[in-house]
Amino acid sequence: MNKIAIVYGSSTGATEAVAEKLQSALGDADLFNAESVNIDDLKPYDFLIFGASTTGIGDLQDDWEMLLPKMEKMDFSGKKVALFSLGDSASFSTSFAGAMYHLYKALKGKVEIVGSVSADGYNFDESDAIVDGHFVGLALDEDNEYNETDKRIAVWVENLKQYLN
C-alpha cells in the first residue's frame, strides 16, 4: 500500500476533525496541518489528500494561502492526490465547497487527481468544485448535512482504495 499523507487547513476545527476521520478510515496515514507543514515533509508520500474548509463565498481557507504557491512548484512525479472540502450548502448555496476548486485549479495538470464524487444527494445550488458533472473530490457540509459525513467518508475511502496499491 502507498504511503499516505493528509494535509488539512482548518479555521474552526471541523476540517481537522474530518481529516482525523479520514485518517482513521484509511488506517495508516500521517496527518499534517497546512499551517505548519513543509513541502519537504510531503516528498516521501505516494498518495496525498488535501483538504480545506471553505471561507467566505467560495474562498480557500487561510492556512493554504502560503502553502499552495509552494505546492504549485512541487514535483509530483509518481504521486496521486485526492481532495476534500467543507462548506455550508445552505448559507453559501452558490459557492458550496468552493475551496476545493482552488486546490484543484492549482494542481490540475501537475499531478493525477483522483476521487471525484457525484453531486447526487447533495443540497446546494452551485459549486465551482463541480467539473464534468462531479465534485473534484469529497464535499462535506458539517453545518447542515453532518448526518451524511460518516457515510460519505466511508464510500469515498472505499473508492480511493483502488488508487492505493
pLDDT digit string (tens) for 45-58?
A: 999 999 998 877 77
Other C-beta atoms lying within 10 Å of the C-beta of residue 25: 15
Chunk the chain into consecutive blocks of 10 residues (it has 165) and report each block's average pLDDT, rounded to whole numbers.
Answer: 88 91 93 92 94 82 86 86 89 80 92 94 87 93 89 96 86
Cα–Cα distance for residue pair 78/163, rounded to 1 Å:
12
pLDDT digit string (tens) for 129-142? 899 989 999 999 98
pLDDT, residue 34, reads: 93
Cα–Cα distance for residue pair 69/55, rounded to 1 Å:
19
The pTM of the full predicted model, rounded to 2 decimals, is 0.92
Cα–Cα distance for residue pair 64/28, rounded to 1 Å:
24
Average pLDDT taken over every residue of the chain: 89
In the chain, where are the structural domains located?
4-163
Cα–Cα distance for residue pair 101/124, rounded to 1 Å:
16
Please check whether residue 159 is in contact with residue 134, taking contact to mean a CB–CB distance below 8 angstroms.
no
DSSP symbols for 86-98 = E--TTTTTTSTTT
CATH of domain 4-163: 3.40.50.360
